[in-house]
Structure 1
Amino acid sequence: MPQVLEFKLPDLGEGLTEAEIVRWLVEVGDVVAIDQPVVEVETAKAMVEVPCPYGGVVTARFGEEGTELPVGAPLLTVAVGTMEPSGPVTGDGPGSGTADTGAEPSGSGNVLVGYGTGAPPVRRRRVRPEGLRTPAAAAGAPVAASPVAGAPAETAGSTRVPDGVRGPVAVVSPLVRKLARQHDLDLRQLAGSGPDGLILRADVESAIRSATSGSPVAAPAAPAASSAPAASAAPAVSPGVRSAAAPGAERIALRGVRGAVADKLARSRREIPDATCWVDADATELMAARAAMNGTGGPGAGPKVSVLALLARICTAALARYPELNSTVDMEAREIVRLPGVHLGFAAQTERGLVVPVVRDAHTRNAESIGAEIARLTEAARTGTLKPAELTGGTFTLNNYGVFGVDGSTPIINHPEAAMLGVGRIVPKPWVHEGELAVRRVVQLSLTFDHRVCDGGTAGGFLRYVADCVEQPALLLRTL
């Protein structure tokens, strides 16, 4: 008899807690090999192909394309020990769990982050789209409605048991559960605003705010008496509060890359006291130096050096002089942590949204090496094949918004970094050069920095050094 093994969505690293199914690569009944990619998912960081650690016949898939699943939720089941395709098996059927045999199935040994393949996985039921199921519901027993605010508390002699045993809690996100635990909230006392009463992160955050202010968490309003006007039961909704009363309004879910960007930018604004300084610089000599570098063509000359690569090399030289800006702040320890190496992020606009790939160890690279890595990462960003590790760990970010045809900006720091350099477009402008008015190639540079790590003098010195290198590229020779 074949053994049916359940493959759960693995931990994809970098603290990711969920992923959206973009495309299934196998069908029910297909024969799969060990480590064969079976599904393509989109996380808040990148598109990832997930390999299956088991070889056999696919008996069930959990989740349609477009479904968002938490880490640890079932992805598919595989019948191991036979290569004869069998019919589909649902998540609640007798064949959907791990068979009770004494055999020790062997996995691929290719352990994903937080997911071992050397032993059979623990049986886990899937969450049905029409609602959450509990052990009682699976057995056919009636299930009581989820308690809401104001419900009687547990008796003093009751023992707290795991959520999945004690009753239904309409929560599927590990992040929501963790947030509730951190603030000592009983999820059974919350009414979810999501589909089928699903408790969302916004519900928990609202309860936290209510607990902090001392006001009780509001329970769903009871139906109004028949004698009362219907309008009296509807509370007034202030502008900006979620309401279904806005005709023609379009709602776009903040999830995936866009959701991750929204969370990170909002956190940056909340936690980092940032300030911005800027300066105009004459980039005529920099453009001439780039033309000279790329003009020495011929066999073995290598790829052309981009303006972004030159600016990146200037940044690494400036950070060597002003290491305060290559740091982060640990508020719990009340310490500034200066980082030993420069992992340079650069903003890249893609069809999936804004991403910030990271050039590792940029301080050890020359302009040509940085340029080649930027080109590789940019292509991966456009095709959606960046790995999560290529989008995290940056220590300083370079943002070239000049490609959008604008001159200046006050960029938001890429949390938890300490600074970001913004570069506007390089355009011909009237400029006083050597005492005379001339048309020169001018660029605006702006530095947004965390005022906790340094004062204006340090930030100004960094920006002035960058501007001087743009105006006189020969200054870089001192640090090469």
Structure 2
Amino acid sequence: MHIFKLPDLGEGLPDAEIVEWFIKPGDVVAADQLMVSMETAKAIVEIPCPESATVVKLYGQSGDIIHTGDPLVEFSEEGAVLPTKADRKSQPEPVKASTSVVGELHTSEGKLKETAQSVSGSSIGVKATPAVRALAHRYNIDLSIVTPSGAHSTITAADVERVVKIFADVGELVPLKGVRRSMAKAMTQAHVEVVPVTIHDDANITAWFAQGDITVRLVRAMALACEAEPSLNAWYDSHAIGRRIIKPMHLGLAVDTQDGLFVPVIRDAQSYTPQELRDKINTLKELVSQRKIAADDLRGNTITLSNFGSMVGKYANPIVIPPTVAILGTGSLFQQLAYVKKGDHQSGIVEHTLLPLSLTFDHRSITGGEAARFLAVLMTDLALDS
């Protein structure tokens, strides 16, 4: 028998989720025949069969997470005797490589679904007897989340059983998968690493908004602001405590979908004409909606734009995802009356259309002055009539 293990699908990714199998045990497959589609880092990768052989066993089902280097498919060697249908039925089911543990537990209270262990799995400093620890392990309860009621802050069996009942009441834990899992990891990294500061202001876009393309104008304004303050178009290396200031603006454009948040990248965004930029944005959004966007189009951005205001909200605190150091968020348009003096003897009340801006930057790499000057250049360009 020969076992095919999940290869590294790009840049040292630790795992991937099975989206769909195109083969099954007993199939005779040919080399390069489509075998399985896997989702990793927000992209779906199709893996072909590595050889011409007979499929003996699949290690996982749709939705399972397989770690890089773990078994994925077992093939028969040339001349090997294949297991019969009865043999395959008698074999145990493949062990799932999911981060959750699925099954049933029998307790005095009835049957409970097992829950996934916490990300940390930490119980350092927790006081509990070996029997209580074994009980917690049986129910997959992280002792660090259990409130002790015993003497000297010791966790008792009753404490563990109380948590088991609570989890039974609130329902089964549903592990995040696919795009949402990738997003959760990215946000955790951002929370641990980045020192975020957000500046809010309103850009006056009265002169052009009625006929203009807001996203396209924002990209142009961001390109000018990056030219004036290059430090915001950069990557920060927390290990080396240094930054790489990047000349071309590779813009990450946040796109919301039912599956989660995607950030396709427009490379050299500063070089596009307005029409070319609009066409590029439309193409990327369509690829995202069809889940056909290439992995290379989802990485390498140097700064990010999030138009959350297309749904709701004026201001936000957008999250900077390492290694980038800045993200601009735009809120919902609103109108405001303003007193304008037109000359020595002329004045009046006019209505302005304002675009709320929220600029978050990593204060490890960028000073407040640099961020403020970036935003000032951006707002000045947005106020122009053409």
> TM > 0.5 between the two?
yes
Label 1:246 to 1:172 Cα distance change in 2 as closer, same or farther (>3 A). closer
Equivalent in 341, 348, 351 of residue 258 of structure 2: 351
Listed as ranges, the matches of 1:236-247 within 5 Å are: 244-246=165-167
Q: Distance in 1 between matches of 2:115 and 2:315?
A: 46
Label 1:314 to 1:245 Cα distance change in 2 as closer, same or farther (>3 A). same
- Report how many aligned residue pairs link the two structures: 345
1:318 to 2:225 alignment: yes
Question: Displacement of 1:242 after TM fit?
Answer: 7.0
Equivalent in 100, 119, 132 of residue 221 of structure 1: 132
1:419 to 2:326 alignment: yes
Q: Distance in 2 between matches of 1:51 and 1:456?
A: 50
Contact 1:60–1:91 under 8 Å retained in 2:
no
Q: Deviations over 1:301-332 (max 9, x none)?
A: xxxxx422321222122111110101222233
Q: Distance in 1 between matches of 2:183 and 2:210?
A: 36
SS of 2:186's partner is: helix
Question: Displacement of 1:473 after TM fit?
Answer: 4.8
Equivalent in 157, 169, 176 of residue 248 of structure 1: 169
Letter paired with 1:347: A
> 2:209 aligns to what?
287
Q: Deviations over 1:183-222 (max 9, x none)?
A: xxxxxxxxxxxx999987522xx26xx3xxxx47865616
> 1:298 aligns to what?
none
Letter paired with 1:202: S
> 2:375 aligns to what?
463
Letter paired with 1:255: K
Q: Deviations over 1:247-268 (max 9, x none)?
A: 5324332333222212222322
Aligned-residue sequence identity (percent) comes to: 31
Listed as ranges, the matches of 1:23-38 within 5 Å are: 23-38=20-35
> 1:297 aligns to what?
none
SS of 2:197's partner is: strand
Q: Distance in 2 between matches of 1:393 and 1:31?
A: 40
CA RMSD of aligned residues (A): 3.6
Larger CA deviation: 273-282 vs 429-438:
429-438
Contact 1:45–1:257 under 8 Å retained in 2:
yes
Q: Distance in 2 between matches of 1:274 and 1:417?
A: 12
Higher RCO structure, 1 or 2 (CA under 8 Å, sep 6+): 2
Equivalent in 185, 189, 194 of residue 272 of structure 1: 194
Label 1:363 to 1:223 Cα distance change in 2 as closer, same or farther (>3 A). closer
Equivalent in 129, 140, 163 of residue 95 of structure 2: 129
Contact 1:313–1:370 under 8 Å retained in 2:
no
> 2:237 aligns to what?
330
Label 1:87 to 1:406 Cα distance change in 2 as closer, same or farther (>3 A). same
Label 1:33 to 1:438 Cα distance change in 2 as closer, same or farther (>3 A). farther
Q: Distance in 2 between matches of 1:458 and 1:8?
A: 48
Question: Displacement of 1:37 after TM fit?
Answer: 1.9
Q: Distance in 1 between matches of 2:295 and 2:307?
A: 22
Q: Distance in 2 between matches of 1:431 and 1:81?
A: 82
Contact 1:14–1:388 under 8 Å retained in 2:
no
Q: Distance in 2 between matches of 1:201 and 1:402?
A: 33
Contact 2:59–2:95 under 8 Å retained in 1:
no
Q: Distance in 2 between matches of 1:444 and 1:393?
A: 27
Question: Displacement of 1:400 after TM fit?
Answer: 0.2
Q: Distance in 2 between matches of 1:91 and 1:199?
A: 30
Contact 1:402–1:424 under 8 Å retained in 2:
yes
1:260 to 2:182 alignment: yes
Q: Distance in 2 between matches of 1:91 and 1:72?
A: 27
Label 1:17 to 1:332 Cα distance change in 2 as closer, same or farther (>3 A). closer
SS of 2:287's partner is: helix
Question: Displacement of 1:419 after TM fit?
Answer: 0.7
Q: Deviations over 1:330-356 (max 9, x none)?
A: 233222321233221111111111121
SS of 2:289's partner is: helix
| TM superposition score normalised by structure 2 | 0.77
Q: Deviations over 1:440-478 (max 9, x none)?
A: 32210111111122222211111111111111054xxxx
Question: Displacement of 1:392 after TM fit?
Answer: 1.8
Contact 2:249–2:303 under 8 Å retained in 1:
yes
Label 1:172 to 1:288 Cα distance change in 2 as closer, same or farther (>3 A). closer
Label 1:420 to 1:7 Cα distance change in 2 as closer, same or farther (>3 A). same
Q: Distance in 2 between matches of 1:217 and 1:338?
A: 49
Equivalent in 68, 72, 76 of residue 69 of structure 2: 72
Larger CA deviation: 271-280 vs 32-41:
32-41
Could you tell me which runs of 5 or more consecutive residues in structure 1 were left unpaired when the two chains were aligned: 94-125, 131-170, 174-194, 225-230, 291-305, 475-480
Label 1:87 to 1:314 Cα distance change in 2 as closer, same or farther (>3 A). farther
> 1:228 aligns to what?
none
Question: Displacement of 1:438 after TM fit?
Answer: 2.2
Q: Distance in 2 between matches of 1:367 and 1:243?
A: 58
Q: Distance in 2 between matches of 1:257 and 1:223?
A: 34
Q: Distance in 2 between matches of 1:236 and 1:439?
A: 63
Letter paired with 2:319: I
Equivalent in 374, 384, 388 of residue 295 of structure 2: 388
Could you tell me which runs of 5 or more consecutive residues in structure 2 were left unpaired when the two chains were aligned: 100-112, 136-148, 151-155
SS of 1:252's partner is: coil
Q: Distance in 2 between matches of 1:372 and 1:91?
A: 54
Q: Distance in 2 between matches of 1:172 and 1:246?
A: 20
| TM superposition score normalised by structure 1 | 0.63
SS of 2:378's partner is: helix
Letter paired with 1:356: V
Question: Displacement of 1:289 after TM fit?
Answer: 5.2
Give the strand-richer structure, 1 or 2.
Answer: 2
Q: Distance in 2 between matches of 1:242 and 1:371?
A: 53
Q: Distance in 1 between matches of 2:116 and 2:305?
A: 40
Q: Deviations over 1:52-96 (max 9, x none)?
A: 2223443332212222211122222345769xx985686999xxx
